[in-house]
A and B are shown apart, each in its own frame.
Chain A
Amino acid sequence: MAHNVRPSGYSKFAKKQTYTRRMGTKKNRAQMLLSERGGGLSLLILVILVLPLFLANNYHYDVVVNIGINAIVVVGLNLLIGHAGQISLGHAGFFGLGAYVSAVLTARYGVHGLVALPVGALGVGILAYAIARPVLRLSGHYLAMATLGVGLIIHIVISREAWLTGGPDGMYVPPLEVMGVAVYGGPVWYWIVAGALILAVWLSLNVIDSPVGRALRGLNGSEVAAQAAGVDTTRYKVMVFVLSAVMAAVAGSLAAHFSEFVSPTKASFLQSILFVTMVVLGGMASTFGAVLGAVMLTLLPQVLADFADYEQVILGLIMMAVMIALPKGLVPTLTALVKRWVRRAGS
């Protein structure tokens, strides 16, 4: 797994050397570039800086911004699923709630968008906190069922309370305003979402490489051993659940203002599944895998749109085929390949 690729250079064979002396060798620099914190973040920023050169029209921006928004959700969800090993089949519910809080507060009550966004994040955080404790007592398929239920209930409420949400038809959302100026158009949103994504990735990488991240992976590996080591496993599960829900909510708010429209499909079961698939497709416990998963699965429907009615057939086939062929996901499989290649080149 990619989080194990760390810059320190211990190897099974370098038994006699001391810890510090082994830092900074040539091999380490190669590994550093492969690591998420070292090479990964720089690469992401580079891609983000260069990408606008290739974006020709509004449609391109539209797709790319949506990729960024989905990636924020999936980076958070990866902390929950990939690291803590707790599945959620309902995160689109939180995404949708964030979107609708922003939509309803700004459109119906005239609240400023920059106020509505944190209100949505906080509200979703509180809701997630309230349900996390009982829900995360469950494990495996029971947890899947409970989170699925939470997501469905949110979706149904959004669809039914038409007086507030516009019901299944969705509702219009005013554009975001910053200092009296409406934020409008693909290029501006590109940089907003890019900034938010880089922040999300940075925060995620920080957590992963910290006592909290190790506690999460620890309770995933052995809950009882983590507890015996002093990890309050319930607390950490709740914490990461809330964190991932809040990230989803923020992404939802951004999505609402960006498309200036929200509809219940944002909170649907299928959307939840797509988020989870992005995590697994990119590679569990890999932050950049999460980003890559978001890229692939957001692009896919665009590519498949040409196939019109066959879109679902092909999407289903691809989901099955990739999961069977690469059960570990793209990034871990690729890193393993590259690492093997580096090792061979180095020896």
Chain B
Amino acid sequence: MPPAFVEFLQFLLSGITSGAIYALVGLGFALIYNASHVINFAQGEFVMLGGMLTWALMSAGLDLPLAIGAAVALTVLAGLALEKLAIEPARDADVVTLIIITIGAGIFLRGVVSVTLGKDFHPLPSFSGDDPISVLGATIMPQSLWVLGVSALVVIALQLFFRYTLLGKSILATSYNRDAARLMGVNVGFVLLLSFGLSAMLGAMAGILIAPITATNFEVGIILGLKGFAAAILGGLGNGLGAIVGGLLLGIIESLGAGYISSDYKDAMAFVVILGVLFFMPSGLFGRRRTERV
């Protein structure tokens, strides 16, 4: 293989890995947005909670799978509490007010974790060792395969959930038309709660999957949350497939940009790209333009 190609492949693989994480986080944004029209700026904190709780539970003596399960469950609990205690009481508030509430929730969660678990970076052990696997001359870590594999499974599982279960369908119905869904007997309050629980689960899984690669601390959720938001917007708000494509695209562009242009500006790439896209497509790649009838 020519070295230039190997290099490119290497960038691509690492881009897809982080892209899958952004996609999971973005999917969490889309889920909540669809059910409630709230943008949950505490989404990144779910990611952080997943990683940090897994680390804490492992330090307390649990083995990895058990710690993961418990961390996901606890994060889901945090998601449910967020909806019940902060979002539901503010149902009719403005967009800006809701943004501030969720950002406040994020600051709160970060604060609680930094007070209880400290501010240090903690790596998680890779799920199945650290022996790199060679792909056409480039290498990929087994953990990246875990990221890709689990993300794909999650996406498929969600798809099945929405298509074949009554609960999934009632979430979809609520996102299309809340009032109509309510009239059809959907328990809208429960659907909102569920969407926060599901998003928290997605976030926690993303945080756990990525922690062996990048390590975790109480602040990792800030930037991951913003990039997940960027992924959701890039794909077109509320479009699940869009969030996945948006996340992968962001990851790849970021990795290629860091590799070929400037690694200093890795974090800026995602936002330059999204500004560029929004200038031409104000509703993202797959978002539908909403026109108001007068």
Q: Do chains A and B touch in the complex (CB under 8 A)?
A: yes
Give A residues with C-beta under 8 Å from B: 81, 87, 89, 134-135, 137-142, 144-146, 148-150, 152-153, 156-157, 160, 224, 269, 273, 276-277, 280, 284, 309-320, 323-324, 327
- Given A138-B282, A141-B233, 20 more A-B residue pairs with CB atoms under 8 Å apart are A81-B96, A135-B275, A137-B282, A138-B278, A142-B284, A145-B230, A146-B274, A146-B278, A149-B275, A152-B226, A153-B272, A160-B265, A310-B115, A312-B110, A316-B110, A320-B101, A320-B105, A323-B90, A323-B93, A324-B101
A316 contacts B294, CB within 8 Å?
Answer: no
CB of A296 to closest CB in B, whole Å: 13
B265 contacts A156, CB within 8 Å?
Answer: yes
Q: Give bound CA distance, A89 to B278, whole Å.
A: 16
> Which of A81, A89, A160, A323 contacts B104 (CB under 8 A)?
A323
> Which of A152, A277, A313 contacts B100 (CB under 8 A)?
A277
CB of A138 to closest CB in B, whole Å: 5
> Which of A141, A224, A273 contacts B95 (CB under 8 A)?
A141
Q: Type the 1/0 row for B209-246, where 1 means its CB is closer than 8 Å to any CB of A.
A: 00000000000001000100110010001000000000
Nearest CB in chain B to that of A222: its residue:
B294
Answer whether A320 and B104 are a contact pair too, CB < 8 Å, given A138-B278, A327-B94: yes
- Please give me the 6 A-B residue pairs with the lowest Cβ-Cβ distance, nearest first: A316-B108, A319-B104, A312-B111, A313-B111, A316-B107, A149-B271
B267 interface residue, CB < 8 Å from A?
yes
Categorize the interface residue count of chain B.
Answer: 35 or more
Nearest CB in chain B to that of A145: its residue:
B233
Residues of chain B within 8 A of A315, CB atoms compared: 104, 107-108, 111
> Which of B89, B114, B271 contacts A312 (CB under 8 A)?
B114
Interface centre among B39, B86, B93, B100 (most CB of A within 10 A): B100
Residues of chain B within 8 A of A284, CB atoms compared: 94, 96
Q: Give bound CA distance, A244 to B86, whole Å.
A: 31
26 contacts between A and B (CB under 8 A): A81-B96, A87-B96, A137-B282, A138-B282, A142-B282, A146-B275, A149-B272, A149-B274, A149-B275, A153-B275, A224-B292, A269-B226, A284-B94, A309-B111, A310-B111, A310-B115, A312-B107, A313-B108, A313-B112, A320-B104, A323-B90, A323-B97, A324-B86, A324-B89, A324-B90, A327-B90
B6 interface residue, CB < 8 Å from A?
no
A319 contacts B101, CB within 8 Å?
Answer: yes
Residues of chain A within 8 A of B271, CB atoms compared: 148-150, 152-153
Q: Give bound CA distance, A41 to B96, whole Å.
A: 27
Residues of chain A within 8 A of B109, CB atoms compared: 316
B278 contacts A276, CB within 8 Å?
Answer: no
Determine chain A's interface SS by DSSP, over half rule: helix
B203 interface residue, CB < 8 Å from A?
no
Answer whether A141 and B39 are a contact pair too, CB < 8 Å, given A153-B272, A224-B292, A323-B97: yes
Nearest CB in chain B to that of A314: its residue:
B111
Chain B contacts with A in 263-294, Cβ cutoff 8 A: 264-265, 267-268, 271-272, 274-275, 278-279, 282-284, 292, 294
B278 contacts A142, CB within 8 Å?
Answer: yes
Number of A-B residue pairs, CB cutoff 8 Å, is: 134
Residues of chain B within 8 A of A311, CB atoms compared: 111
Answer whether A319 and B268 are a contact pair too, CB < 8 Å, given A142-B282, A149-B274, A310-B115: no
Nearest CB in chain A to that of B109: its residue:
A316
B233 contacts A316, CB within 8 Å?
Answer: no
Residues of chain A within 8 A of B105, CB atoms compared: 316, 320
B106 interface residue, CB < 8 Å from A?
yes
CB of B141 to closest CB in A, whole Å: 27
Nearest CB in chain A to that of B99: its residue:
A144
Q: Give bound CA distance, A142 to B268, whole Å.
A: 18
Q: Type the 1/0 row for B111-128, where 1 means its CB is closer than 8 Å to any CB of A.
A: 110110000000000000
A269 contacts B222, CB within 8 Å?
Answer: yes
B103 interface residue, CB < 8 Å from A?
yes
CB of A113 to closest CB in B, whole Å: 30
B90 contacts A312, CB within 8 Å?
Answer: no
Q: Give bound CA distance, A153 to B268, whole Å.
A: 6
> Which of A89, A135, A157 contacts B268 (CB under 8 A)?
A157
A317 contacts B101, CB within 8 Å?
Answer: no
CB of A180 to closest CB in B, whole Å: 40
Residues of chain A within 8 A of B86, CB atoms compared: 320, 324
CB of A262 to closest CB in B, whole Å: 20
Q: Give bound CA distance, A294 to B282, whole Å.
A: 33
Nearest CB in chain A to that of B115: its residue:
A309
Nearest CB in chain B to that of A162: its residue:
B264
Q: Give bound CA distance, A145 to B106, whole Å.
A: 17
Nearest CB in chain A to that of B104: its residue:
A319
CB of B106 to closest CB in A, whole Å: 7
Residues of chain A within 8 A of B33, CB atoms compared: 141
Residues of chain A within 8 A of B284, CB atoms compared: 142
Nearest CB in chain B to that of A313: its residue:
B111
Residues of chain A within 8 A of B101, CB atoms compared: 319-320, 323-324
Answer whether A156 and B229 are a contact pair too, CB < 8 Å, given A276-B96, A280-B100, A327-B90: no
Residues of chain A within 8 A of B278, CB atoms compared: 134-135, 138, 142, 145-146
Nearest CB in chain A to that of B102: its residue:
A320
Residues of chain A within 8 A of B92, CB atoms compared: 327
A152 contacts B268, CB within 8 Å?
Answer: yes
Q: Give bound CA distance, A157 to B267, whole Å.
A: 10
Q: Give bound CA distance, A142 to B39, whole Å.
A: 11
